[in-house]
Amino acid sequence: MQDGQQTNGVLNGKGKKLGQLKTASVPSVKPEPWNGGKRVDRVLVLLIEYPDFPHNNIQPTETDMTADGAAVLADGAEGTAPL
């Protein structure tokens, strides 16, 4: 397949090389301010216990499912979840 790409202009033609980036890095994402609407939802959360996973063993870094951006740590303290 590589030989076919070389001869048909996918890598050597004048068009855009979609998916064929030649540099090793991609430019960083720049945050933009949000000036749109805000919505508030009510969410139903179910607690499911599994026999092979100990109770209260999920760490805040392993999930983004927190209320109001606050994570409850294993010792019961509250922390701020990263966005």
Q: Contact 73/60 with Cβ under 8 angstroms? A: yes
Taking only the tens place, the pLDDT of each residue in 2-50 is 555 555 666 677 777 666 666 667 778 888 898 889 899 998 888 888 7
pLDDT of residue 69: 53
Burial per residue of 30-45, b for 16 or more beta-carbon CB atoms within 10 angstroms, e otherwise: eeeeeeeeeeeeeeee
Q: Is the pLDDT of residue 83 over 50?
A: no
pLDDT at 56 over 80: no
- Confidence class for position 67, pLDDT limits 50, 70, 90: low
* Rama region for 14: left / alpha / beta (φ>0; ψ in -120 to 50; rest): alpha
Q: Is a pLDDT exceeding 80 seen at residue 82? A: no
